[in-house]
Amino acid sequence: MASFLSLHTAISNLVHDGDTVALEGFTHLIPFAAGHEIIRQGRRDLTLIRMTPDLIYDQMIGSGCARKLVFSWGGNPGVGSLYRLRDAVERDWPNPLEIEEHSHAAMANAYAAGAEGMPSAFFRGYRGTGLPGVNANIRFVACPFTGEPLACVPAHRPDVAIIHAQRADRQGNVLLEGIVGVQKEAVLAARRSLVTVEEVVDDLDARSPNAIVLPSWTATAIALVPGGAHPSYAHGYYSRDNAFYVAWDEIARERESFAGWMRQHVLEQGPEVFGERAGLRR
Amino acid sequence: MNHTATEMMTIAAARALCNNDVCFVGIGLPSAACNLARATHAPGLTLIYESGTIEAKPAVLPLSIGDGELCETALTTVSVPEMFRYWLQGGRITLGFLGGAQVDRYGNLNSTVIGDYRKPKVRLPGAGGATEIAICCGRIFITMSHNPRAMVKKLDFLTTLGHGPTGQERKKLGIATAGPVLLVTDLGTMQPDPETNEFVVTALHPGVTRDAVRENTGWRVRFADAIGETAPPSAGELEALRELNARTARAHGGTAA
């Protein structure tokens, strides 16, 4: 059964130096508060998996948490570059960053294979491109029935998956809805998992028996963090802070402005500020 | 009405979209062109964004591929693994609409790095969905700003397969989908030669000269025998595009801190 913990305790118990960690959420429900707590607790040498690194991994990479990044699209959506990711890859700052680069289809398939308990995933992809030449984890096998060459990648099996969801009930069952990304797969693929939620309720109020519900025995810990996805969003609670995504371009461009922003808004703050940040925009 | 080169490019791309297409849409100009088409001649155009939103009908252009606007207006929203496995790989999508940092004469795209992969001058975002979109969609449209840095003789990295380094690789690899069939730039439109698959200029936008195209293309660009001039934007097209952009600016600015 999932334990209800404070975010501080949950990160302290679940995330260790050197772990392979996946913070997921496809544009929607990105667990920013949990990422900030990892930064505050000074975790190092993490292998970070995420389809779209987004601002949260830009912040974690720029803060020196990561040794390696496994990803498929590393930009600021609709805005441009992730400058902290680029600084790490182009100039080894604040430390060298190993990258393992995939396509979205490969990443989605690798999470699904992890959830299935399979060692690897097969799909129709990558053919004729330069990616297999720079990533030894992209290989091809022939379909035993048709002979078609199929791309093959290892399953994702993170030590820890971290997601944000709309709500949990008091038993620790979790509901997420809207753009649901790969979060269910990430939790089921991981050895341990943390779900931060907007609220804890008596009844999940799932409108359909087919809503995405993670039973309490699939997550390790749940932490209540209202607004914990800001500047990403929580469908039904608050919308995406597109203006902040645009503003990040300027903040992250230089090391000094980035460090100053992180000190003021992350290192010297706690998870309780997220409610107000998201609430301002409700 | 006067218009900008970007407006012409967006409108030219929108005109190429059909009412019965099922289109996998990228952010930026492809999304603008698709929603302009929906607002003008192709109200039935089906838009699918890789965040899992099927039959999205956004009133404003999303900043990201997963804005709430897409989910709220979609017929249904599926998970990302389902999107890539059942819908894209399953062959349900007739048209993919892509951009990139570089394109070559055979419609191959680079969105990975400028310079050497291990020590890049510029680290670009990467493949995203494009690699499999290019293999699995029925056909591909590309949009690109027309300049020598973008329209290159040789890609720094091949992220997304067009017709391959010699123009013949799709057939050799046994890939059955058509690949890139249209390239729309801010100077004109290009289509692949039926024999060689090399993109040749088939129409110039109003006021654009052949010399301007030559100067802004990184390879010795060829022109089709019968070359047309793109019809200038109609008042209706321009009004629809400007209204869409104004609504979008209001919506995104409205969330400012």
Q: Which of A72, A89, A246 lies at the smallest CB-CB distance from B128?
A: A72
Expressed as residue numbers, the domain containing A54 is: 3-102+157-279
Q: Residue A92 sits in a domain of what CATH number?
A: 3.40.1080.10
- Please check whether residue A144 lies inside any domain of the structure: no
Look up the pTM and report it: 0.96
Dihedrals phi, psi of B114, to nearest 5 degrees: -105, 130
DSSP state of A216: G
Asked if residue A260 is part of any domain, the answer here is yes
Burial class (CB in 10 A: 0-12, 13-18, 19+), A29: buried
Share of chain B above pLDDT 90, in %: 93
Would you tell me which residues 18-37 of chain B have a C-beta closer than 8 angstroms to some C-beta of chain A? Answer: 27-28
Q: Do the domain assignments include residue A56?
A: yes
Residue B256: what are its φ and ψ, rounded to 5°? -65, 145
- Domain assignment present for A265: yes
The helix, strand and coil proportions of chain B, stated in percent and rounded to the nearest 5, come to: 30, 25, 50
Average pLDDT of the residues of chain B: 95
Residue A107 lies in a domain: no
Using only C-alpha atoms, chain A has a radius of gyration, in whole angstroms, of 18
- In 3D space, the residue among B133, B196, B198, B183 whose CA is nearest the CA of residue B161 turns out to be B133
Q: Which of residues 208-237 of A touch B (CB under 8 A)?
A: 212, 233, 235
Q: Is residue A132 domain-resident? A: no
Judged by DSSP in three states, B206 sits in coil
Which residue in the block uniquely carries the two structure tokens 């706690």? Answer: A270
Taking the C-alpha atoms of residue B218 and residue B133, their distance in angstroms, rounded to an integer, is 26
DSSP B3: -
Contacts of B129 in chain A (CB under 8 A): 73, 103-105
Number of other CB atoms surrounding residue A256 within 10 Å? 8
Residue B70 has pLDDT above 60, yes or no: yes
Task: Report yes or no: A115 and B141 within 8 Å, Cβ to Cβ.
Answer: no
What's the number of domains chain A is made of? 1
**A123, part of any domain:** no
Bridge partners of residue B95, in order along the sequence:
B23, B139
How far does A2 lie from chain B, in Å, by closest CA? 24
Answer positive or negative: Cα dihedral of A78, A79, A84, A89: positive
In a structure prediction context, what are the per-residue pLDDT tens digits for chain A, which is 282 residues long? 899 999 999 999 999 999 999 999 999 999 999 999 999 999 999 999 999 999 999 999 999 999 999 999 999 998 999 999 999 999 999 999 999 999 999 999 999 999 999 999 999 999 999 999 999 999 999 999 999 999 999 999 999 999 999 999 999 999 999 999 999 999 999 999 999 999 999 999 888 888 899 999 999 999 999 999 999 999 999 999 999 999 999 999 999 999 999 999 999 999 999 999 998 444
Give the type of residue at A110.
Answer: A
For chain B, list the domains and their CATH numbers: 5-253 (3.40.1080.10)
A215 located within any domain: yes
Catalytic residue positions of B?
Answer: 50
Picking from A157, A175, A168, A183, the residue whose alpha carbon sits closest to that of residue A24 is A183
Residue type, A33: A
Q: Apex CA B123: angle with CA B162 and CA B191, to 5°?
A: 20
Q: What SS3 class is residue B236? A: helix
Which of B89, B121, B99 is closest to B10 using CA atoms?
B99
